[in-house]
A and B are shown apart, each in its own frame.
Chain A
């Protein structure tokens, strides 16, 4: 992991990025729930190991997918439901059970687990908690003698054995490590979000009279991951808004493009546009050849990220069109020509009603509060910087700061 003194750009600095960052903040897995998710999957591991069947039979129990790369957002179009994906790497002695047998054994071992529901799915067993967090536990077997941690995960629809049952190559761990190496920590991003979560928790603590840790230990760490979260949210909202059925572009595919497009020092909207454009180009190129997009795990070419999506050239073109619309909307927002009165509707269309309304309201109150307290500062271009961005602004663009201090004043005017 590369950490230098101060890297990246504060995503709350630019006015449009500030709103986008607040939207991302509103859909992220909060640090408190991240800690809860970790304690939950550790408890599930302990539970499984305490069963007779799986005693000494679990080699690794680790997060995969968005949980492994700190990119978890709320599920689909929801605002407070989270899916946490876990790999249970089992000892080879269970492999003879076959995919359905392994999934059923896992289901049986968790059947009395204290959650609302235990559901066996095609590739995992899902634990549904009372607070609507879902823990998806996928069973995997390590491919011995291959690079860390190439595995096979179990695929079986059930309820009876079928010719379609199979083992699916996967290296979720390898991809997470690859992703992290391609998206180093940008301290301007992680510190901005750490401050924001601390402020959020402090406000909540004031309301609830709870103890709050001084520092949020888990926060988004770079602009690429922030962009990834927003693209995933956009995909989810668009899928729901257009009432589409069928698979969505998988998150791991988007994460792969986030890693490929990552470049330290980008603004959030630049990172977002870059991610989209890279994916659009690859889809268009495949479509021109009459093929569906084919992308494999960079750490193992047997692990196909596109094995279940896209189902057709039309479906991938539809997604490329969606991404093009997102890029166009972002460029319009950044153009300086959009009437602010139209901005909320445009953003709601992209990211959903509630989170957008809340994000704009929060930023509006912060800005108004700064004006009332004269705690803001200015740029030479006539921009306003509110306190949470001021420190970063001074570091990143000292020359752009206006030589004028804020002072107290009260707006007045004609009678309403």
Chain B
């Protein structure tokens, strides 16, 4: 493994090659926002991925821009499973911080994008059946976003 994490430029170049339909906007050498469309199963979703050099540990923030994510009130997995900020500004939670599945030494194109597709596929079937079949877990409530550094 390289000593330093991948740079924003390296991430941008790799995303362009792997997912050319995603447009991007960089903010100096420190941050980038990609936006593109994914159609895992039956519906198309506009997806936004925000990443900056201070997200090397916590991971990129992935939001579904449209359509608005549907809630299932009273569902055992919560009204919208596997997200942070469920009620205000849901950000997809694609990996378990305790298992070190993400780090800034990995390409967004090879991790975050396919994991977003996985999330959307599981989400669609969750809407159809009420059951989240893609695995994962929800932590005890702590009121803060958990990452590998503050994991209890």
Q: Which residues of A contact B (CB under 8 A)?
A: 15-16, 333, 336-341, 343-344, 360-361, 363-365, 367-369, 371-372, 376, 378, 380-384, 402-416
Which 9 pairs show the lowest CB-CB distances between chains A and B? A368-B133, A411-B136, A382-B38, A415-B141, A364-B125, A413-B93, A15-B41, A410-B96, A411-B82
Contact of B83 among A336, A383, A414 (CB under 8 A): A414
Stretch at the interface among B3-11, B25-33, B48-56, B110-118: B110-118
User: Which listed residue, A337, A372, A412, touches B95 by the CB 8 Å rule?
Assistant: A412
Shortest distance between the CB of B40 and any CB in chain A (Å)? 5
Which residues of the partner chain B approach A16 to less than 8 Å between Cβ atoms? Answer: 42
Q: Which B101-127 residues have a C-beta within 8 angstroms of A?
A: 101-102, 109-111, 113-115, 117-119, 121-125, 127
The DSSP consensus for interface residues of chain B is loop
- Residues B128 and A344 in contact, CB atoms below 8 Å apart: yes
B94 on the interface (CB 8 Å rule)?
yes
A residues in contact with B36, CB < 8 Å: 382
Check B43–A340 contact: CB distance below 8 A.
Answer: yes
Assess the A412–B110 pair: CB atoms within 8 A.
no
Query: Beyond A15-B42, A336-B43, is A376–B133 a contact (Cβ under 8 Å)?
Result: no
Q: Is the CB of B96 within 8 A of A409?
A: yes
Q: Which residues of B contact A372 (CB under 8 A)?
A: 134-135
Residues of A within 8 A of B34 (CB): none
Given the complex of chains A and B, what is the CA–CA distance between A411 and B119 in angstroms?
8
Task: Judge whether B101 and A409 touch: CB under 8 Å.
Answer: yes
Instruction: Across the interface, name the chain A residue whose C-beta is closest to B97.
Output: A412
Closest to B38 in A: A382
Given contacts A340-B43, A376-B118, A416 and B77 within 8 Å (CB-CB): yes
Measured CB to CB, the closest approach of chain B to A308, in angstroms, equals 39
Please, which residues of chain B bring their CB within 8 A of the CB of A367? Answer: 41, 121-122, 125, 133-134
Q: Is the CB of B93 within 8 A of A412?
A: yes
Q: List 19 A-B contacts (CB under 8 A).
A: A16-B42, A333-B42, A340-B123, A340-B125, A363-B125, A364-B129, A367-B133, A368-B134, A371-B121, A382-B36, A402-B114, A404-B114, A407-B110, A407-B114, A409-B96, A409-B115, A409-B118, A411-B82, A414-B85
Q: Please indicate the chain A residues that have their CB under 8 angstroms from the CB of B44 in the complex.
A: 336
Best-surrounded residue of B19, B67, B77, B97 (most CB of chain A within 10 A) = B19
Check: B35 CB closer than 8 A to any chain A CB: no
Q: Which residue of A lies closest to B95 (CB)?
A: A409
The CA of A255 and the CA of B3, in the complex, are separated in Å by 67
Q: Is the CB of A371 within 8 A of B128?
A: no
Query: A380 — which chain B residues lie within 8 A by C-beta?
Result: 19, 21
The answer to whether B43 and A412 have CB atoms under 8 Å apart is no
Contacts of A404 in B (CB 8 A): 18, 109-110, 113-114
Q: Please give me the residue from chain A that is nearest to B84 by CB atom.
A: A414
A365-B111 in contact (CB<8A)? no
Chain A residues with Cβ under 8 A from B17's Cβ?
Answer: 403
Q: Taking A369-B133, A403-B18, A409-B115 as contacts, is the C-beta distance between A340 and B128 under 8 angstroms?
A: yes
Inter-chain CA distance A403–B17, complex, in Å, is: 9
B128–A360 contact, CB under 8 A? yes
A364 engages B110 (CB within 8 Å): no
Contacts of A15 in B (CB 8 A): 40-42
Q: Judge whether B113 and A371 touch: CB under 8 Å.
A: no
Are B142 and A415 within 8 A (Cβ)? yes
CA separation between A344 and B126, bound complex, in Å? 11
**What B residues does A336 contact at CB under 8 A?**
39, 42-44
Query: B65 near A: Cβ within 8 Å?
Result: no
B138 contact from A360, A364, A407, A414, Cβ within 8 A: A414
Given pairs A367-B122, A410-B137, 10 additional interface contacts (CB within 8 A) = A340-B128, A341-B72, A367-B41, A367-B121, A372-B135, A381-B21, A404-B110, A410-B95, A412-B82, A414-B83
By a CB distance below 8 angstroms, the chain A residues around B57 are none
Q: A343-B128, A384-B117, A415-B141 are in contact. Are A371 and B110 (CB under 8 A)?
A: no
**Contact A409-B39, Cβ < 8 Å, known A341-B72, A414-B84:** no
Give bound CA distance, A336 to B141, whole Å.
35
CB of A378 within 8 A of CB of B117, answer yes
Q: Are A382 and B82 in contact (CB under 8 A)?
A: no
User: Do A339 and B127 have beta carbons less than 8 Å apart?
Assistant: yes
B135 and A368 form a contact (CB under 8 A): yes
| In the complex, chain A residues whose CB is within 8 Å of the CB of B77 | 416
Interface contact A364-B82, CB-CB below 8 Å:
no
B129 proximity list for chain A (CB < 8 A): 344, 360-361, 364
| Contacts known (A363-B125, A409-B118, A416-B138); A383 close to B39, Cβ less than 8 A | yes
